[in-house]
Amino acid sequence: MPSSVLLSSILVIGASVVPAFANWGSAAGGSVASGSFRSFGNSQVEMLSEDLVIRLYRDRAKVEIDYIMRNSGGPVEVRAGFPSLGVETPNEKHREIEDYAISANGGPVPFTIEKGDPAPLKGMFEAKFLDMVDTTDQDQSPDRNSMLLEWFTSSVHFDAGEKKHVHISYESLYAYCEGGYSDDSDACDDRFAYILSTAAGWKGPIPEGRVTIQAMTIDPEKLLISPAGRFRRKGENFVWEFRNLKPSQSDDIVVNMNDHYSTIAKYGEVDSKGGTQQISYYTAEAGRYFYLSRDFVPHADSSANDYSAENLLSGDHENEWRTVHSPGIGDTLTLAIGRPAHINQVGVIPGCGTNKQEWFSHTRIKRIQVSVNGKNSAEVLLPDEYNSFWPESHKAYEWVDLPPYPGPAKEIRLTVRSVYPGSSDDVTCIKAIMLRRWLRSKPPLKSEIDGHELP
């Protein structure tokens, strides 16, 4: 992680995905933008190259940046900072960056956090995003003064003519916004932004640079990337190589995940004991419609104490199903479909924990076998990925296509075939299950509260 001067972490506000409450209004958060680090008043250190790699996962980007810096003058102590744009509400502030690290020539570099003026970078904030900030409290209205800029600053010594390698890495939750009433919602596109223009503060242009965007567990076909015309497609990667660039705001990078969606909730389904109301969702995304439900009765031949399969219907997403064996290979979960229908996919959250550290402390399901009606089956490899989406969002799930089968699905069986090792134990669990049916046309329904319709 970088050396010479540097840098950063990303800040922003909000949780990565917001749960729906009655008349909850709207909310926005995640990281609005990070960026290239900038010299504070130095005119003799050059940025010889910048190699930026952005790896895109479902709720976050994992970023690594390598800079080569050179001092063109005498010995100097360089002070510089890495920008982090976010929002701050009257109630709380969240820093939506994880695992941040910076080094120079392989050694860690300390940093401090200083507030800056976000006005010159206000173009990175979408109007719709700002309109949804901080309205979960019905006594408050959107506040455009909630824009926040923080500089993660470091001081690095350069000898005369010295060249240094600065490396930075971090994880950044995407900027998101969502609004609605009760359990209905409209969600904006998730976005990742990188302010390349802040690299213009060094001596001269950047002689060479490379930006690589890698679609890891998201669909590369859906991405909208700016500046337009700069990136070349290479498989599932997008690459921009430049020479002698003095970056300006027209060079700032925005990756739009193009995943906005709208939902209308349907109430009335109950669990196997008739005690918990089930909520299903009609959802529109990318011009397609689907129906999400938990219209099933779960059963497992084995379960750990207090972690039975019925927890999957409890509505409490901190109470998962856990296998009784360790690590659970061969254990099976059976879903008896309440109203048999042709189901296209089963969504699985193949682990448990309320945060990333807990998630990776347990084993996670690697390969799962799915069968329909006791006959048709397929085995699927699941990625080893944590995401922070709320389990009522379809984004929270690993979606497994059901194998071809005739007629309606009456029973779906999920069998653990292999696992990823946990850092501290062999606990294997499923946090939540959801069923998905693709619809051939727009469902003829409106919100029960405000008349909202799917687009």
Q: Is residue 137 part of a domain?
A: yes
Q: Looking at the structure, do residues 208 and 270 belong to the same domain, yes or no?
A: no
Interatomic CA distance for residues 416 and 429, integer angstroms? 10
* Class of residue 319 by CB neighbours under 10 A (exposed 0-12, middle 13-18, buried 19+): middle
Per-residue tens of pLDDT for the chain, all 455 residues: 233 222 222 222 233 333 333 345 788 888 999 999 899 988 899 999 999 999 999 999 999 999 999 999 999 999 999 999 998 876 656 567 788 889 999 999 999 989 999 999 999 999 999 888 855 444 444 455 688 899 989 998 999 999 999 999 999 999 999 988 888 889 999 999 999 999 999 999 999 999 999 999 999 999 999 999 999 999 999 999 999 999 999 999 999 999 999 999 988 755 545 555 678 999 999 889 999 999 999 999 888 888 999 889 866 667 899 998 889 999 999 999 999 999 999 999 999 998 999 999 999 999 999 999 998 899 999 999 999 998 889 999 999 999 999 999 999 999 999 999 999 999 999 999 999 999 999 998 888 777 788 98
Is 79 a member of any domain?
A: yes
- pLDDT at residue 95, as a whole number: 63
Look up the CATH number of the domain holding residue 280: 2.60.120.260
Tell me, yes or no, whether 379 and 362 share the same domain.
Answer: yes
Query: Which of 430, 443, 250 lies closest to 347, judged by CA?
Result: 430
Question: 216, 232, 256 — which closes off a domain?
Answer: 256
Residues 311 and 363 in one domain: yes
Contact 362, 429 (CB under 8 A): yes
Say if residue 151 is in the same domain as residue 201: yes
The predicted pLDDT at position 281 comes to: 94
β-pair type (107-108, 97-104): antiparallel
Give the per-residue pLDDT at 51. 98
- Same domain as 206, residue 292: no
Q: Is there a contact between 51 and 66 (Cβ–Cβ < 8 Å)?
A: yes
**Per-residue pLDDT reduced to its tens digit, 232-262:** 999 999 999 999 999 999 999 999 999 999 9
CATH of the domain at 93: 2.60.40.3680
Domain boundary among 256, 290, 324: 256
Q: How far apart are CA 161 and CA 244, in angstroms?
A: 20
Residue 14 domain-assigned? no
pLDDT at 304: 80
* Type of residue at 73: G
Do residue 50 and residue 172 come from a single domain?
yes
pLDDT at 276: 59
> Are 266 and 252 part of one and the same domain?
no
Kindly report whether the peptide bond that precedes residue 403 is cis, defined as omega within 30 degrees of 0.
no
Do 241 and 295 have their domain in common?
no
Amino acid at the residue 305: N
Domain carrying residue 116: 25-256
- pLDDT at residue 144 in the model: 56
Q: Does 319 lie in the same domain as 213?
A: no
* pLDDT digit string, tens, across residues 354-383: 899 999 999 999 999 999 999 889 999 999
CB 273 within 8 A of CB 296: no
> Is-contact 349 432, C-beta < 8 A?
yes
Residues 247 and 303 occupy one common structural domain: no
Which pair of tokens denotes residue 247?
A: 């970056």
Whole-prediction pTM? 0.89
Strand, helix or coil for residue 358: helix
Cβ–Cβ < 8 Å for 8, 82 = yes
Same domain, 197 and 267: no
282 phi and psi angles, rounded to 5 deg: -90, 130
d(CA 82, CA 376): 53
Task: Specify burial of residue 187 (Cβ count, 10 A radius: 0-12, 13-18, 19+).
Answer: buried
pLDDT at 20 (0 to 100): 36
First to last CA, the chain: 45
